[in-house]
Amino acid sequence: MLGAGFAGLSAVRELGDVDADADVLLVDRNAYNTFQPFLFQVATGGLNPGDVTYSLRTFTGGRRRVGFRQGTVTGLDAEAKVLRMAEGEDVSYDYLIVSTGIAANYFGIPGAEEHTLTMYTRNGAIAVRDRLLTAFEQAAEHGGEEPPCIVVVGGGATGSEMAGSIAELRNTYVAENYPELDPSRVRVVCIEMLEFVLAPFDDSLRQYARGALEQRGVELRLGSAVAEVREDVVVLKGGEEIPSALTVWTSGVSAPKSLSEWGFPQGRGGRLQTEADLRIQGSDSVFAVGDVGVVDGSPLPQLAQPAIQTGKHAALNVKHLLAGEPAVPFQYKDKGTMAIIGRGAAVADIKWPFKGKFTAAVAWLMWMGLHIALLHSYRNRLAVLTNIATHLTRTGMQNLIPGETQRVPQAGRQLSDEPKAEVDPQLERQGGNA
């Protein structure tokens, strides 16, 4: 199993109790799983990084014949059935389930990769948090003369979550703790190429989300496209320049570029094309699950439920193959889609076990309840529940501390002499845990 995201751990759970004579090895470049749906809370100080991470040694330790190896895969020899590892010793397999997750897609926009941060990893969320809080501190140093502008590129679920959360941080934490700053002058801009946010949702839910963002003071630039990203400016097509102390990129995703070297067929965004049974086209032993796979030409939503279901089904098919039985086609069970906008504001389009569309506090409680339940341990659930409850109060917003980071860019100021944080760009940009 390559990758310890939703799909990977779902497969390990299914294979961990396999009765056949088989060993299961989980390979990931990190020693922990990251619960990505809560990363926007880490980025805005609502949760600690440890609240959303879980030890993979703990996960595999109690499962019979399941092992873990921390390492980075540099290549694959499909004929020899071997994974090439950066650390040296190769890993051989009889069946391989690929669940590497996704990375940011910058669509070739000049400067986007160099001058933006992403939200797909723990390190990325921490980098966003530190840059965000440092922007407030730096503006306060200069008496609030140049309040920061925060730009979020993309109006999907992640972009809406980030824009809404940053606006709430400005409206509460900044308003109460930075007398030097006028919160109304601290801009939060969300840029979306379409004419609406949350494209996968029904129009009534989109309209609610738009209203909730605008109510929190988010400047929505709908129907706008980014032409270029500079260190301190986002340039829109048409020439408008938006100053930016921090630009968060949530506009698109693609498979890790390294997969193109494996020789497997790839579809849109570099995702691996699979047959209906989730085996990669042309392979009888390699499965692709979660965000990295395209099932029989029909891409599934890049959400937790499709990842969990494909991971489990690939593991079931491995069991079938080990028993000499044919693999069976995958059928996705759509349980619905949810997105959170801010405290007490969310949208939910539920299709199972009941049908209905929900907004506001009801949808927010549904989103929180489901995602807290999906956390991997009671400790994580208790920590998140406690911190979320505290975050809803005034006192919960009074102990946000930035880590060490570089000075944020400001229009007209040279930062070449400022120290820069030693952040591995691969940790910021890689989309999956593998």
How many C-beta atoms lie closer than 10 Å to residue 205's C-beta? 23
**Do 118 and 85 have their domain in common?**
no
Predicted local confidence at residue 54, as pLDDT: 97
Q: What share of the chain is helix, strand, coil (3-state, %, to 5)?
A: 35, 25, 40
Determine, yes or no, domain membership for 45: no
**Do 226 and 136 have their domain in common?**
yes
**Do 248 and 295 have their domain in common?**
no
Determine, yes or no, domain membership for 60: no
- As a whole number, mean pLDDT of residues 200-216 equals 97
**Do 163 and 234 have their domain in common?**
yes
Give me the CATH number covering residue 382: 3.50.50.100
Predicted local confidence at residue 284, as pLDDT: 96
Share of the chain above pLDDT 90, in %: 78
Asked if pLDDT for residue 19 goes beyond 70, the answer is: no
Determine, yes or no, domain membership for 366: yes
Give me the CATH number covering residue 263: 3.50.50.60
Residue in 370, 366, 290, 363 with CA at minimum distance from that of residue 332: 290
pLDDT classification of 315: cutoffs 50, 70, 90? very high
**Do 279 and 174 have their domain in common?**
no
Let me know: does 26 contact 56? Beta carbons within 8 Å. yes
- As a whole number, mean pLDDT of residues 232-246 equals 97
**Do 366 and 218 have their domain in common?**
yes
pLDDT classification of 422: cutoffs 50, 70, 90? very low
Asked if pLDDT for residue 434 goes beyond 70, the answer is: no
Predicted local confidence at residue 431, as pLDDT: 41
> Distance between CA 328 and CA 279 in Å, rounded?
10
Domains identified in the chain, total number: 2
**Do 244 and 186 have their domain in common?**
yes
**Which stretches does DSSP call E strand in 282-432?**
286-288, 293-295, 336-342, 345-350, 356-359
pTM of the model: 0.90
Mean per-residue pLDDT over the chain, rounded: 90
pLDDT in tens, 31-61: 999 999 999 999 998 899 999 999 999 999 9
What is the domain extent for residue 18?
6-29+71-102+255-322
> Distance between CA 167 and CA 159 in Å, rounded?
12
pLDDT in tens, 249-306: 999 889 888 898 999 999 988 999 999 999 999 999 999 999 999 998 788 888 899 9
Predicted local confidence at residue 296, as pLDDT: 81
Looking at the annotation, which residues are catalytic? 161
**Do 144 and 188 have their domain in common?**
yes
pLDDT classification of 432: cutoffs 50, 70, 90? very low
